[in-house]
Amino acid sequence: MNEQAAEDFRSQVQRLVADGKLTPEEARGLLADLNGLAPVSLDKDPEPAPAAETPSPGPADEPRTGPSVPDLTLRVSGYTLTVVHDEGVTAPQISANHDGELRLSGGHGGWTVERQRRGHDARHWPPLQAILSVPFVPRQVHARVEGGQLTLPDLRGDLTAEVNGGSVRVGRALALRAEVNGGNLTAGELEGHTELRVNGGNLTVGGARSLNASVNGGNLTWTGELRGGDHHAEVNASNVSLHLRGSSLRLEANVTLGALRTDFPTQKSGGFMASRYAGQLGDGAARLNCQITAGQLSVTSEEGNGG
């Protein structure tokens, strides 16, 4: 049965590549564990794939709301899940290279994907790759990743993510609330508020308008534009890089047994153990307050001329 599931899954991946829903690189990652199957062609029209698994109505899940509540709850533990926006389906569908491993359910809170197995030894779980196809642009997404990989499309609303060993990648989102504990999270364009906490992990933001971050024993790379409001970064035994091209802000930083590097002028007061820095970009419309303890903070802007 799982051999047929793997073949069906491969056909589904090929179709999504042909439709432009997946890149060839993403497809190769999804198909990496399908050993023993014929080679995959990613540049020709695929054979039609059998219908993926769609949840059927049942007393425990009624009433079902379907696409009218396009929220997702994703619990990823030891497997790879890729979510794609696919207008070719009429309701969320899950497809995987092994049958019976995942459960897709719908209700008042939207749609939930989680692993069926509970209480089993995860060391004996088969390598699992899955695709969740949804006919809508996801709104609110709640994700918990523990030793797996999650790839999300552009979102219409917010992403709330907890990463405990594993990785999450998302394109655009309205806002981001993320806690990374020994894992990786990469986000693209963020239009609204961000609340970021990194505890021994790596978080990368590609374009944002808000910064509220606490980094403890991890790494944060944040790129964005701050042109109003109050923003905060706390750095404890960590490395943080802020790329602020086009920003207008006043920088205030307290440094204890750490280091601050900027490419624009700053004024320093205090001693070797504890120092205070102040600087400005543009007309200083936003305020950025930083607390650094035994960590490294780098703040750069193309407007800077060294400091």
Give a three-class secondary structure readout of 208-269.
ECCCEEEEECCEEEEEECCCCEEEEEEEECCEEEEECCCCCEEEEEEEECCEEEECCCEEEE
| Rounded Cα distance, 199 and 127, in Å | 27
The DSSP symbol for 32 reads T
Share of the chain above pLDDT 90, in %: 66
Residue 65: per-residue pLDDT: 40
pLDDT digits (tens, 9 = 90+) for 47-97: 444 444 444 433 333 333 444 446 999 999 999 999 999 998 999 999 998
Q: Cα dihedral sign for 53, 57, 61, 63?
A: positive
Q: What is the pLDDT averaged over residues 9-15?
A: 71
Record the pTM.
Answer: 0.80
Residue 19: per-residue pLDDT: 67
Give the model's confidence band at 15: pLDDT under 50 very low, under 70 low, under 90 confident, else very high.
Answer: confident
**Secondary structure class of 144 (helix, strand, coil):** strand
pLDDT surpasses 80 at 194:
yes
Residue 119: per-residue pLDDT: 55
Give the model's confidence band at 278: pLDDT under 50 very low, under 70 low, under 90 confident, else very high.
Answer: very high
- How far from 223 is each of 92, 93, 104, 206, CA to CA, in Å? 33, 35, 35, 5
Q: Which two tokens stand for residue 136?
A: 């809508």
Specify the pairing of strand 286-293 against strand 274-281: unpaired
Q: Which two tokens stand for residue 17?
A: 């590549």
Of 57 and 201, the structure prediction assigns the larger pLDDT to 201
**Secondary structure class of 68 (helix, strand, coil):** helix
H helix or E strand, kind and range, residue 27: helix 24-31
